[in-house]
Amino acid sequence: MEFCDDCGSMMQAEDDVWVCTSCDAEKARNSADEAGMVTTQGQEGSTVVDMSDVDDADIGPTTRVACPQPDCDGERARYEMKQIRAADESETRFFTCVECGHKWREDDH
């Protein structure tokens, strides 16, 4: 993967140059540098994991947080954190109430 020196956007390979997808800047390709790059070819397939038979204690960490669902008094939720925005922004926290199963997310603003 190559990033533009001018605007920081991801570039695409076109013949002998890298072309910025945002500002159209160009940079010569270097085969020695590209030899160490990782591609996503062959990684397209994914499978669904059935979690219905997994014990709740094995699913992941929980934290004390009030469920925002109006008819639920749950005070614990499973959580996971994912980087879904730009790398320089904080991760998004995803919660699932252990009482009612309601799902919600929190972002830092």
Question: In the chain, what are the domain boundaries?
Answer: 1-40, 56-106
pLDDT for 26-49, tens place per residue?
Answer: 988 888 877 777 766 666 666 666
Considering only residues 92 and 65, tell me which one the structure prediction assigns the higher pLDDT.
Answer: 65
65 closest CA partner among 30, 99, 23, 90: 99
According to CATH, the topology of domain 56-106 is N-terminal domain of TfIIb (2.20.25)
Q: Quick one: DSSP state of residue 54?
A: S
Q: How many helices (H) and strands (E) does the chain have?
A: 1, 7
In the block, residue with structure tokens 């749950």:
74
pLDDT for 65-83, tens place per residue?
Answer: 999 999 999 999 988 888 7
Mean pLDDT for 82-102 is 83
Lowest average pLDDT, out of 4-13, 30-39, 63-72, 90-99, goes to: 30-39
Q: What is the pLDDT of residue 65?
A: 93
Find all residues with CB under 8 Å of 63, minimum gap 6, and list them. 76, 77, 79, 95
Q: In sequence order, what DSSP letters do the residues of 23-36 get, joined into one string?
A: T--EEE--HHHHTT
